[in-house]
Structure 1
Amino acid sequence: MTPPIRIVFLDRDTLADSVTLKAIPFEHELFVFARTSPEQVAERIAAADIVITNKVALRREHLAQAPHLRLIAIAATGSDNIDLAAAREQGITVSNIRDYAVRSVPEHVFALIFALRRNITAYRQSVRDGRWQQSGQFCYFDYPIRDLAGSTLGLIGSGSLGQAVAALGRALGMKVVFAQRRGQAQAAGEPDRLPFEQVLAQADILSLHCPLTPDTQHLLGLEEFRLMAPRRPLLINTARGGLIDNQALEQALRQGWLGGAGLDVCVPEPPPADHILMRLLELPNYILTPHIAWASEQSMQALADQLIDNIAAFHDGVPRNVL
């Protein structure tokens, strides 16, 4: 008798309790862990046929101790926590979730943009501090407020999320430009795709939507922020924390090279209390949210549904969303 397929979910707490998992349509044993520390990974996946992980890292040394493992089902889009080369060498299929947050992430991007462009958090704090009463009139103008219409939205990354952000920007009357990969010239017939450095120099708002790879690690550093300084743009990052050199970001904010920054990601997550991105919270033109751009109720449920569909498709011999 063939034993049931053993499925291990390493970090169920990365999805809200309100999210339900559809029934898995084949005989299986499901072992669900709220969280898994690096020291617990090898033991928990040792006998697994299928592993579900959102952010728990699966490295070469872990995979080498999981001889039965055939599928890693990532409960997210990003795959930088998986050793893909080691998985391929061991014949392990890796699947991810795609296009599930094409509303949630762009809406969060613009929530950050609106908050910074209109200085919502700064005005809220000043009201709490009694500034309205001190002003002696019906309003006051301590922080600049700027419309989005007519401004230039620069996007690094032109996948489904970048395209969805672009659509919202155009609807608001913004000029949208996409950055080519660094070092790549502008393609003929693509006026909205400009060289990387040109987008940095022209953008009033720059939003990141590219994956974290060795080529994009610290994509934005001191040199890039200096290129951006004349326009003092807003910087929005809902992609991966490693795309930005945080020391350079601090200097750019404190020197006024940026008009503000709204981040939803950092390294590590969560950051320690003395992390540079935590210290920057003293600035009125800086917002840090806890990696929740993707996490609308609708998007989380869509992710969970697609996760089970990926597992079922693999079992049926027609794997999908394979990396």
Structure 2
Amino acid sequence: MTSASAPGPATDLPQHLNIVALETVFTGLPPITLPEPHTFSLTVYERTRPNQVAERLKDADIAIVTTVVITAQALEACPKLRLITAIVAGTDSLDLPACKARGIRVLNASGCNVDAVAEHAVGLYFAARRKMVPSMQQLHQGLWPQRGTIIHSALTNGEAPRSCRDETVAIVGYGGVGKRVSALVKALGMAVVVAGRKGEEASVPAGRVPFWEALAAASVVVICCPLAADTANLVSTAEFAAMKQADCVLVNVARGGVVDEAALLVALQTGQLGGAAVDVFAVEPAGPATSPLLAPAVAASGLNLVVTPHTAWLAAQTKANQHAMLLENLHGFITGVMVPERIRA
């Protein structure tokens, strides 16, 4: 990984550092090392609930995390904490303003999962465009021998599915994942438009299309943007109405809170959308009690809805990247040479 100088090495660090890994269930840990003369003790937890964070980090100098929520209140009980390093790209579970106010450096693993997430997004597109879930349901119900054919299960509004060369993909969020999705779908023959920021239609950068125009032009919309105050429920009722293609497919590999799940379900039920495929949910871990998309009635309804349990990131290369970046972040924090793109606070 390319490194660049950040504002100097960490000062006033004790020679012996207490490192606490709060949740190793997702990625595990590589063998930890620190630059000399620093030594360390390491406490590892497989899982940590938010109400356990303060107690487990009360004596920590460094925390290693994935997705556990760390609030400003929890940080108040952690007077020694100097670094939170996330083994994942997303840091929306961390109170970044509170970390900054307390002088806690936050580093992430930006870009660790770009290939995996982009490839998963393309897989979700094919599953939704080809209506694989409704077709599988009818197969399991034994309808093929009863009816002689169930090809209608792959039709949208009575029409056969588009080929890749007939697709226009609008990409919402053009970071590492968005750029990789763009390259993959272009290689498949699809046209690509990159959506500008919503609300900034008058100042769209070169190479991008105003947000609403991108939605109107798209036969596929891929959501790749991070969850932030300005992207919460970024896509809801008005945005689904703006997707003019009757067979339009939505793919969300960003964060669940970017798409209004209730509005998405209505758009599918009313035929406003041709299909949807989501890997992320507003509340995770997700289940029928927390997401309308996972209600038993929805699963049995034959809707063209593909769901996966936030596994787009999962790949051997992602894990290798995460472990390498974790060690780089630990060493970089101590020496003051950090990758700027990974600095979140």
Q: TM-score range by the shorter chain?
A: over 0.9
Structure 1 counterpart SS, 2:64 = strand
Deviations 1:218-265 (A, max 9, x none): 001111111115433111101100001111111111111111110000
> How many Å apart are 1:20 and its aligned residue?
5.0
How do residues 245-260 of structure 1 correspond to structure 2 at under 5 angstroms?
245-260=260-275
How do residues 74-85 of structure 1 correspond to structure 2 at under 5 angstroms?
74-85=86-97
In 1, the alpha carbon distance for the partners of 2:316 and 2:144 equals 36
Quickly say closer, same or farther: Cα 1:297–1:7, change in 2 above 3 A. same
The aligned residue for residue 243 of structure 1 is 258
Of the three residues 143, 146, 153, the one matched with 2:154 is 143
**How many residue pairs are counted as aligned between the two chains?**
317
Are 1:8 and 1:31, in contact at CA under 8 Å, matched by a contact in 2? yes
Consecutive unaligned residues in structure 2, runs of 5 or more = 1-13, 156-160
> How many Å apart are 1:287 and its aligned residue?
1.0
2:299 counterpart letter in structure 1: L
How do residues 198-237 of structure 1 correspond to structure 2 at under 5 angstroms?
198-237=213-252
1:287 aligns to 2:306 (yes or no): yes
Quickly say closer, same or farther: Cα 1:132–1:56, change in 2 above 3 A. same
> How many Å apart are 1:43 and its aligned residue?
0.5
2:31 counterpart letter in structure 1: K
Structure 1 counterpart SS, 2:145 = helix
How do residues 89-108 of structure 1 correspond to structure 2 at under 5 angstroms?
89-108=101-120
Q: Which has the higher contact order (CA 8 A, sep 6+)?
A: 2
Of the three residues 53, 75, 80, the one matched with 1:63 is 75
In 2, the alpha carbon distance for the partners of 1:121 and 1:188 equals 37
The aligned residue for residue 170 of structure 2 is 154
> How many Å apart are 1:187 and its aligned residue?
5.8
2:142 counterpart letter in structure 1: G
1:67 counterpart letter in structure 2: P
Are 2:132 and 2:154, in contact at CA under 8 Å, matched by a contact in 1? no
The aligned residue for residue 49 of structure 1 is 61
The aligned residue for residue 138 of structure 2 is 126
Quickly say closer, same or farther: Cα 1:196–1:140, change in 2 above 3 A. closer
TM-score (norm 2): 0.87
Runs of 4+ residues deviating >4 angstroms:
186-189
Structure 2 counterpart SS, 1:261 = strand
1:13 counterpart letter in structure 2: V
In 2, the alpha carbon distance for the partners of 1:294 and 1:266 equals 14
Structure 1 counterpart SS, 2:98 = helix
How do residues 169-180 of structure 1 correspond to structure 2 at under 5 angstroms?
169-180=185-196
2:343 counterpart letter in structure 1: V
> How many Å apart are 1:197 and its aligned residue?
0.6
Of the three residues 178, 194, 197, the one matched with 1:181 is 197
In 1, the alpha carbon distance for the partners of 2:59 and 2:139 equals 57
In 2, the alpha carbon distance for the partners of 1:228 and 1:303 equals 36
Q: CA RMSD in A?
A: 1.9
